[in-house]
């Protein structure tokens, strides 16, 4: 349930923190980044839905400013002190807002729980379908492998039979060629004798 603006804010914050972590504080784009971060925070504050992450975002932006040297140590400490000491009117208003928002929060929680349960059920159904399809594929694959093994065994037997037949035929052919040579030899001897 994050809004698009909040997602953009988180991405830009992460990018700025990464740039500072990588010692790229001299980047010329930092002032533009900081101003756009502050504008995004203002836009998120102006939205109707209450957001608990805004103080965290403001704190992170201030620490970025401090690390870049845009604010001093005293200004950072003063901002934290102001946050810690809200006046009584804001405190009362905050309590009223919290009391009013409790029913919405419980409704939202129930809605979120239902959504999560539905998602878990869908995931479980998909996993069951996947397991059944995997089982079917594995049985089909085992059947195909068995058939292939049978075909290989038959072809091996056929090759052995053909090899033995070929051996017998080759022996017959050699015998026949020997007989034919002997016959021709006798014919040639007879011709020589006649001559």
Question: Considering the domain boundaries, does residue 187 fall inside one?
Answer: no
Q: Is the pLDDT of residue 192 over 80?
A: yes
Q: Is the pLDDT of residue 137 over 50?
A: yes
Q: Is the pLDDT of residue 42 over 70?
A: yes
Question: Considering the domain boundaries, does residue 66 fall inside one?
Answer: yes
Residue-level length of the chain: 195
Confidence of residue 106 (pLDDT cuts 50, 70, 90): low
Question: Considering the domain boundaries, does residue 160 fall inside one?
Answer: no
Question: Considering the domain boundaries, does residue 64 fall inside one?
Answer: yes
Share of the chain above pLDDT 90, in %: 11
62 Cβ contact list (under 8 Å, min separation 6): 71, 76, 79
- Side-chain half-sphere CA neighbours of 16 within 13 A: 26
Confidence of residue 80 (pLDDT cuts 50, 70, 90): low
Question: Considering the domain boundaries, does residue 21 fall inside one?
Answer: yes
Share of the chain above pLDDT 70, in %: 83
Question: Considering the domain boundaries, does residue 143 fall inside one?
Answer: no
Tally of CB atoms within 10 A around 133: 10
pTM for this model (two decimals)? 0.39
Q: Is the pLDDT of residue 135 over 60?
A: yes
DSSP, residue by residue, 126-154: HHHHHHHHHHHHHHHHHHHHHHHHHHHHH
Encode 149-180: b = buried (16+ Cβ within 10 Å), e = exposed. eeeeeeeeeeeeeeeeeeeeeeeeeeeeeeee
Question: Considering the domain boundaries, does residue 46 fall inside one?
Answer: yes
Confidence of residue 82 (pLDDT cuts 50, 70, 90): low
Tokens 């929680």 belong to which residue?
Answer: 109
Model pLDDT, residue 11: 92
Confidence of residue 81 (pLDDT cuts 50, 70, 90): low
Model pLDDT, residue 118: 82
Domain range for residue 43? Answer: 1-70
| Pair of tokens at residue 56 | 């965290």
Question: Considering the domain boundaries, does residue 15 fall inside one?
Answer: yes
Q: Is the pLDDT of residue 103 over 60?
A: no
Q: What is the average pLDDT across 7-29?
A: 86
Query: Among 41, 40, 32, 99, which Cα is nearest to 70's?
Result: 32
Structural domain count of the chain: 1
């Amino acid at each position: 349930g994050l809004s698009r603006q909040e997602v953009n804010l988180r991405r830009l914050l992460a990018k700025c923190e990464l740039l500072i972590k990588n010692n790229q504080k001299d980047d010329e784009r930092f002032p533009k980044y900081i101003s756009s971060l502050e504008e995004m925070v203002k836009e998120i504050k102006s939205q109707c839905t209450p957001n608990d992450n805004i103080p965290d975002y403001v704190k992170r932006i201030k620490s970025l400013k401090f690390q870049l040297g845009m604010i001093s140590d005293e200004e950072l400490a003063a901002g934290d002190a102001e946050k810690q000491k809200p006046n009584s009117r804001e405190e009362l208003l905050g309590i009223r807002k919290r009391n009013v928002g409790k029913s919405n929060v419980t409704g939202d929680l129930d809605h979120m729980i239902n959504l999560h349960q539905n998602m878990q059920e869908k995931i479980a159904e998909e996993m069951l379908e996947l397991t059944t399809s995997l089982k079917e594929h594995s049985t089909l694959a085992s059947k195909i492998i068995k058939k292939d093994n049978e075909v290989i065994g038959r072809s091996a037997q056929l090759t052995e039979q053909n090899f033995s037949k070929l051996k017998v035929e080759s022996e017959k052919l050699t015998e026949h060629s020997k007989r034919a040579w002997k016959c021709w030899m006798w014919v040639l001897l007879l011709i020589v004798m006649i001559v």
